[in-house]
Amino acid sequence: MRNAMLLVALILLSPAATAAQEISGRAGVLGLATRRAASFEGQTGTSNATMSGVELSIRRGLLGLSARGTSAQFLSDTAAIAAGRVTYGDLRARFGPEIIAANVGWGRRALAGSLGRRDWSFIRLGAESEVPIGGSGLTASMALGWYPSVSGSGDFQSGRGADAETRIAYDFIDFPAYVAIGYRVERFTSESPDDIRPDELSSMFASVGFRLHPGTFGTTERDEDQDGVRDRDDACLVTTLAGAVDAMGCRLDGDGDGVFDEADRCPSTPMGVRVDRAGCRLDEDSDGVHDEDDACPGTPSDAPVDAVGCRLDPDRDGVYEPHDACPATPAGVMVDATGCRMDTDGDNVFDDDDACPNTPPGTEVDLRGCPILFEAGETSLVLEGVTFETNSADLTANAMTILNLVAEALLANAEVRVRVIGHTDSSGSRDYNVSLSQDRAESVKRYLETRGVDESRMESLGVGPDQPIADNATPDGRQINRRVELVRIDGGAE
């Protein structure tokens, strides 16, 4: 332990290290008002004493070394408190910046008095923190220590201990001196069978002394944080050695983004923009467009975007690239999930242009997507599949399906007027067949009316067996002759 502290001292005082960083420290005298308590063989007692001592501390950068020694004369009120002189000393090595540091130390205490002489030594592990209070020259510090091993002579053979100390110091600005006051508590516990607790000390102390700077002993140019700006001019007394500082001792932030220059990977960001921990402008969705300029801040990271951070959709059909299989669809048309124009009924007429959007598959349609009633130049059409119940004018279900298409075509061609003509074969009397054909023509006309075709656009006529198109002598011929025919009567031809 003592060899390690010697090594720290050699590093602190080496000429090469001195050239790199300035050494600072304090040397002073101590005055303590101490209350001491102890127990021995079931007896307890307390006593008070005034102690005196010296302290010394030096540090450079993250390393430091400190020593303290005190002595006091206690008067005994019981056998538990051994009267006599108590001497105490410790040596500590410190590792870390002022704001928080760890330390390790070794110390020794000796008591000579009415119970003879006892000595014990200890190893100390601890932590300490020192922070300036504004720029006034005041500093506040706190130190905590633990003694994992205490060994001694006499009744006290071994044990453990702990201490705590708080301190406020004032460094004079124009004179290399300091004053300090503080409070310290120490406690040792024994592992001996006689339940000896040799010391429990609580002390109010004050110290006065000089600040130390090698080569310029007594200099007034103190630089506590070693940033090159003397404390009297330093507006930031706890800057680290990690980066450069300005004339006021504060870390540099050239672009004013809140990230100090030594850690700023983007040192020229525009004023007022949001940045990340590295000082670079934020792009939360990683689309290459900074958040301040991003009109669409939640785009997927792998999606191509335009100059304002929005996904590309040149034809504005709502399907983004690269998923748009038809990237040049006209504006305003309906498209499917792949960005292509929709043709729901598969008739090769896009839905936006389809006047009859629900034609069955395979139906021949015109340019408007509606079933073709009359072929070019034709004025009549036999409605194949429009049949009736036997000896009745009641339409079959299949007939209604076909007439739905006829009605759709008529509604899409408002200028067309038609005559519905009913035909029969020659079976039975002519009068019966003429009446049946008229009823059937009327039945078709009424159904078309129910599908929305205006009555004024249609006529009905029953001609019975008078206009055969096949031989009534055969079953096939008679079936062909039983038919419903549409004849265009508006004078036009498709």
pLDDT at 85: 67
34 φ/ψ angles, rounded to the nearest 5 degrees: -120, 140
Q: Which domains does the chain have, with CATH numbers?
A: 2-212 (2.40.128.90), 253-304 (no CATH), 373-488 (3.30.1330.60)
- Cis preceding-peptide flag for 322 (omega within 30 of 0): yes
Q: Which residue has the tokens 């934020």?
A: 282
Question: Which carries the bigger pLDDT value, residue 36 or residue 438?
Answer: 438
| Structure tokens given for 69 | 């020694």
Residue 12 has phi, psi (to 5 degrees) of -60, -40
User: How confident is the model over 32-55, as a mean pLDDT?
Assistant: 65
What gap in Å lies between CA 155 and CA 191, rounded to an integer?
Answer: 10
Collapsing DSSP to helix, strand or coil, 29 comes out as: strand
Is the pTM above the cut of 0.85? Answer: no
Sheet holding 418-423, edge to edge: 380-382, 483-488, 418-423, 458-462
Q: State how far the Cα of 150 lies from the Cα of 158, in Å rounded to an integer.
A: 5
pLDDT of residue 344: 81
Enumerate the β-bridge partners of residue 110: 87, 119
pLDDT at position 393 over 90: yes
Structure token digits, residue 102: 């760890």
Instruction: Categorize the per-residue pLDDT at 341 as very low, low, confident or very high, splitting at 50, 70 and 90.
Output: confident
User: Helices 397-412 and 430-450, interaxial angle, to 10°?
Assistant: 60
Higher pLDDT among residues 80 and 378, named by residue = 378
Task: With beta carbons less than 8 A apart as the criterion, state whether 80 and 39 touch.
Answer: yes
The CA distance from 166 to 144, in Å, is 9
pLDDT for residue 263:
81
Cβ atoms of residues 222 and 211 within 8 Å = yes
Phi-psi region of 5 (alpha: psi -120 to 50; beta: other; left: phi over 0): alpha
Strand partners, 186: 163, 201
Could you say which DSSP state residue 243 is in?
S
pLDDT in tens, 420-468: 999 999 999 999 999 999 999 999 999 999 999 999 999 999 999 999 9
Concatenate the DSSP letters of all residues of 39-89 into one string. EETTEEEEEEEEEEEEEEEEEETTEEEEEEEEEEEEPPSSTTS--EEEEEE
